Structure 1
Amino acid sequence: MFTKTEKQFLELYRSGIWEKPLNEDIFNDSTDWEGIKELMIAQTVIGVCTNVISKLPAHLKPNQNIYFNLIMLTSNIEQANKGMNKLLIELFDACEKLKIKAFLLKGQGVAQCYPNPLLRQSGDIDLFFLESNEYKKAVDELHKYFSVPMTDTDLNGVHALFICKDIVVELHGGIHGAINRKTMKNIMSWTKQIFAQKTPLKCNIDEAKAVLPPVHFDALFIFLHAVRHYFGSAVGLRQLSDWMRYLYTHKGDIDRTELLKDIEYLGLTKVWSVFATMAVDYLGCPEEVMPLYNNRYKKDAKRLLRFILDSGNFGYYDKRIQTTSKNILVQRFVAMKGHLEMQFRNIITFPEEALYGIPSFFKDGFMRFIKTLKTR
């Protein structure tokens, strides 16, 4: 079910994520390093895999063109992380001056759970504001502090963003639970309850003194965020690495009984179980830190990894949504058809989740199509 190249990629990935010895015996002169590189890029795990490749004996390393390109990409990742860490100093300083309480979601915070935080491929900076009035104040004032315009604003919703120093800063006034009906119904009440009962985590990220959500929140939220993207389009291994590394790093801080209860409360037991089984069986996660591992889901777990490797991060690399046509109508039709196929492939394992997102898929697709027409 997995090609030789995919197996070699997964061996590199597991070694990089868990700092375990690499099985060098599966690499030889015929190794398809170009194919491995494409998988590293599609799954957004370039840094952690390149770090492992750099330790291979010279005769097993890729040719100079591929190897130096990977080194350059990894250097870019490190520099991007350093830039984000510097901006975090200014962001939390600005929030303090504006008297608004921000919590850093995912990103640079969860990177601290990696063996080398600078090798985690960064995306943007996400700040969460628990109180609606603080979220609105952040939307109104935070971008002005940096003298940049707000790029996208949703005061009545839960999302806004601006770009500062070429870094996207996303502001969130709520937590998305668009996975199934139970998750959607309970997510915000659960969030407010956790923040009311648990202590936020203070974290030094280089010189930035960041405030993260309570550990119990992130232990579930990081998974929820990855799964929401999986059902919405697709997800890369980096986001699953975030989840696994967080559970591993904070294993002594997480109340397992309480976590299981909340997984059930949010209607995520089956989804978590399948992802957990994949994490242990294929991604190297230690079984003792992964709740709800279940042998019964071995076939589902294997199928799940197949889907993830086929689609890449956010589904950008899935052949079903690609076309060479320059006609906007053809492009949108191919994208719609491809994304529908990606959603319906989940119907055997996750029937409720596969069907739940269909209405919003059509609505969002139509809105993006209209927006595209207006900008042409």
Structure 2
Amino acid sequence: MGLILKKTDKLLFKLLQLALDTTGALQGLEEAPSEEEWKAIYKLAKRQSVLGVVFNAVKKLPENFRPARALLLRWSMDAEGTAGMNKLLNLEAARLTWVFEGAGRKNAILKGPANARLYPDPLSRQCGDIDIWVEGGRKGVTELLYKLNLLNAENDDHAYSRHHIHLPQNKDGVTVEVHFKPASGIPFRNGALQKFLNEEIRKATLVPEGFYSPSIKFALVMQLAHLQQHFYSGGLGFRQYTDYLMLLRHSTEGDRNAAVDVMKNLSMMRACGAVMWVLQEVFGLERELMLCAPDRKRGERLLKLALAGGNFGQHKEVPKPKNVFARWFKDRLQALSWLTFDPVNAVFKELKYWRATISLIPKRIKRRRIAL
């Protein structure tokens, strides 16, 4: 059975298109949603982490089409909070840029504030953390963070991942990930991906917000690789798809052609076609801006996942089995179900799981603890 969309899903799509339209061609909604529909739209936008963006569409509507006053006021406060947090992130991104610049290290902001500046209203993008790439590799970046007192022995517990280091949250509630690699890996061709990213990120340019932003070509490849990682581990919401839409809207034909040349060599085109379909269905992405032909079958799976789970799959309502072995079996079946979507990525993801699981067996035996 194909994907079945609710009326409120379609209304949210129209509002997103209206909010992100810069041509003035879109005229809004054909009829005013009911009070209950507005409540459902608000809830859905919140789950998808696009409240601030959608509120820009609400402001474009005639007064008799808008939500009731109580919801409108609540939504306005949400949007103001998002705008304020974006300002804090921009200030912190600029401050860190010059801290690392002063230490003689090239750096660039990944995703987050770099994406937000591309939006029609840059302060409407719901904030996450700041991802900043700093040259020097894992060892060099770690030593620099200690030298700058950004990391110390008291707060470096669990700070490391395979490609970045978590800094402690600052007094304003801003969290930062310092990347010694521009992005995590992809199946079997990770060396080629990292080579491209490390060469391209050095072309980052200083933007008016006070930080270095990578090229659109870099962002198109890196962020699709990032999207791929999350397809198989919880899913993605509309915030990440909106980011990718903004990249495409600010790309040149040369950017897109160059990005596709890289993606074709990195087993990314199945995911690319699926994302293009989602962007077409939800945001009305123009055909001339697509990186490849939209893939409806795979795209429907991604959209279904987004609607069910919201931002990074955090709002899934399907309870997990309480029994650890039942949960493990369900997770393995779920992992295998991605074989029809993208066999290369699905096999790679499962191999990584088993490698990590087997490597932990001695520790679990020592602790007398069974876990899967």
Q: Normalised by the shorter chain, which TM-score bucket?
A: 0.7 to 0.9
Matches within 5 A, 1:259-274: 259-274=259-274
Matches within 5 A, 1:1-376: 1-19=4-22, 21-29=26-34, 32-132=37-137, 133-144=139-150, 149-150=155-156, 152-154=158-160, 157-162=162-167, 163-165=169-171, 166-182=173-189, 184-195=190-201, 199-205=203-209, 209-251=210-252, 254-294=254-294, 297-321=295-319, 330=322, 343-361=335-353, 363=356
Give the secondary structure class of the aligned counterpart of 1:100.
Answer: coil
Identical-pair percentage: 20
User: Which deviations, in whole Å up to 9, do the C-alpha atoms of 1:145-182 show, x marking residues without a partner?
Assistant: 99x94464339x42211122321010111144444333
Q: Compared with structure 1, are the counterparts of its residues 26 and 331 closer, same or farther at alpha carbon in structure 2 (3 Å cutoff)?
A: farther
User: Which deviations, in whole Å up to 9, do the C-alpha atoms of 1:94-141 show, x marking residues without a partner?
Assistant: 112322222111111111110010001110111112331542234323
Shift of 1:239: 0.9
Shift of 1:262: 0.3
Q: Compared with structure 1, are the counterparts of its residues 170 and 138 closer, same or farther at alpha carbon in structure 2 (3 Å cutoff)?
A: farther
Give the secondary structure class of the aligned counterpart of 1:128.
Answer: strand
Q: Is the 8 A contact 2:35 2:68 kept in 1?
A: no
Paired letter, 1:268: M
Q: Distance in 1 between matches of 2:132 and 2:119?
A: 21
Q: Distance in 2 between matches of 1:341 and 1:40?
A: 30
Q: Compared with structure 1, are the counterparts of its residues 179 and 96 closer, same or farther at alpha carbon in structure 2 (3 Å cutoff)?
A: closer
Q: Compared with structure 1, are the counterparts of its residues 131 and 144 closer, same or farther at alpha carbon in structure 2 (3 Å cutoff)?
A: closer
Q: Is the 8 A contact 1:101 1:134 kept in 2?
A: no
Shift of 1:333: 7.2
RMSD: 3.1
Q: Is the 8 A contact 1:320 1:334 kept in 2?
A: no
Give the secondary structure class of the aligned counterpart of 1:261.
Answer: helix
Paired letter, 2:313: G
Q: Distance in 1 between matches of 2:148 and 2:328?
A: 36
Give the secondary structure class of the aligned counterpart of 1:104.
Answer: strand
Q: Distance in 2 between matches of 1:213 and 1:250?
A: 12
TM-score, reference length from structure 1: 0.83
Q: Compared with structure 1, are the counterparts of its residues 210 and 316 closer, same or farther at alpha carbon in structure 2 (3 Å cutoff)?
A: same
Would you say how many aligned residue pairs link Structure 1 and Structure 2? 354
Q: Is the 8 A contact 2:165 2:179 kept in 1?
A: yes
Q: Compared with structure 1, are the counterparts of its residues 8 and 75 closer, same or farther at alpha carbon in structure 2 (3 Å cutoff)?
A: same
Q: Is the 8 A contact 2:234 2:313 kept in 1?
A: yes
Shift of 1:57: 2.5
Give the secondary structure class of the aligned counterpart of 2:123.
Answer: helix
Paired letter, 1:89: A
Give the secondary structure class of the aligned counterpart of 2:175.
Answer: strand
Q: Is the 8 A contact 1:5 1:35 kept in 2?
A: yes
Range that drifts further, 263-272 or 75-84: 263-272
Q: Compared with structure 1, are the counterparts of its residues 152 and 145 closer, same or farther at alpha carbon in structure 2 (3 Å cutoff)?
A: closer
Q: Structure 1: any 5+ residue segments left out of the alignment?
A: 324-329
Q: Is the 8 A contact 1:100 1:138 kept in 2?
A: no
Shift of 1:32: 1.5
Q: Distance in 2 between matches of 1:92 and 1:99?
A: 11
TM-score, reference length from structure 2: 0.84
